Structure 1
């Protein structure tokens, strides 16, 4: 995938959007210390380049309902493309799976699963195994406390990138 070159203003705009979500052009201009119209035009260009994939509200779900969060590592029996495709297609359709990453090393996938209880998680795993998705082995890691959950700091990342190019 072709990388997009960003200047300092682009980074400030993207960082503001990352931190504040959808905001007015006047608030964005204030945050990045530029005039509203050119700032908004730059934001439009960044959107068209596909650098902003959406806007979300972060909801404190744990203040509404108790949830069980579990990390699940999965290894498949076979490692043909069709095996990976079948597993990934199924995982895409399961609401309880909030994240899934294919990995290299000891396991094929790491999933972040959220259910209403440990018992519901057990039912989820049993259903997954019954579907014969080619799961060879799996391990579970129950989350006892969330220590940190943030988005990547774009400003810090760009700073590191610029230092490495020197």
Structure 2
């Protein structure tokens, strides 16, 4: 993957449009950003190869499928050597129910977001992580009751305008 790609205003407009409507055709995208189809496709391929576009997918509203439990978990590790962090991260990468893992500040080391069938399922996952001896000293669970504001990370236009 090439990472030496420099973005210009057209590249940013392409990323913004794809973030808004990832299913648009290349012709629609080209029209939206003011390019012809061939140069637009070339730019999209370059952005993909450079890693700016990580993939394409559908945003699924899992609450429509049934009741699920979202749990945020703050984790503190017993030791803070580089290898302790690496061991922990490698272990949680294998847990499908962990949607996000953030190395954070604020009195703990990691913030994880789980999506599970229920609280019992979450608890069994945590017990499994503790049994794996991956350095967890303590953890605190925040069970989500309701999520009145949820946004998809379509902030690129706002972030670029602020910079």
Report the TM-score, using the length of structure 2 for normalisation: 0.90
C-alpha separation in 2, matches of 1:104 and 1:60: 30
Equivalent residue for 1:133? 134
Q: Which moved more, 1:55-64 or 1:125-134?
A: 125-134
C-alpha separation in 1, matches of 2:50 and 2:102: 25
Equivalent residue for 1:40? 41
Q: Which moved more, 1:85-94 or 1:141-150?
A: 141-150
2:158 to 148, 156, 166: 156
Per-residue CA distance 1:48-67 (angstroms, 9 max, x = gap): 22211111111111101211
Equivalent residue for 2:9? 8
1:55-74 mapped onto 2 (5 Å cutoff): 55-74=56-75
Q: Which runs of 5+ in 1 are unaligned?
A: 162-166
C-alpha separation in 1, matches of 2:160 and 2:5: 12
C-alpha separation in 1, matches of 2:45 and 2:131: 47
Report the TM-score, using the length of structure 1 for normalisation: 0.88
C-alpha separation in 2, matches of 1:85 and 1:100: 13
Specify the SS of the correspondent of 2:31. helix
Equivalent residue for 1:117? 118
C-alpha separation in 1, matches of 2:4 and 2:113: 28
Alignment CA distance shift 1:5-1:160 (3 Å)? farther
Q: Which runs of 5+ in 2 are unaligned?
A: none
C-alpha separation in 2, matches of 1:85 and 1:153: 30
State how many pairs are aligned. Answer: 160
1:93-104 mapped onto 2 (5 Å cutoff): 93-104=94-105
Specify the SS of the correspondent of 2:47. helix
2:4–2:50: 8 Å Cα contact kept in structure 1? Answer: no
Cα RMSD for the two superposed structures: 1.7
Q: Deviation of residue 149 (structure 1)?
A: 2.6
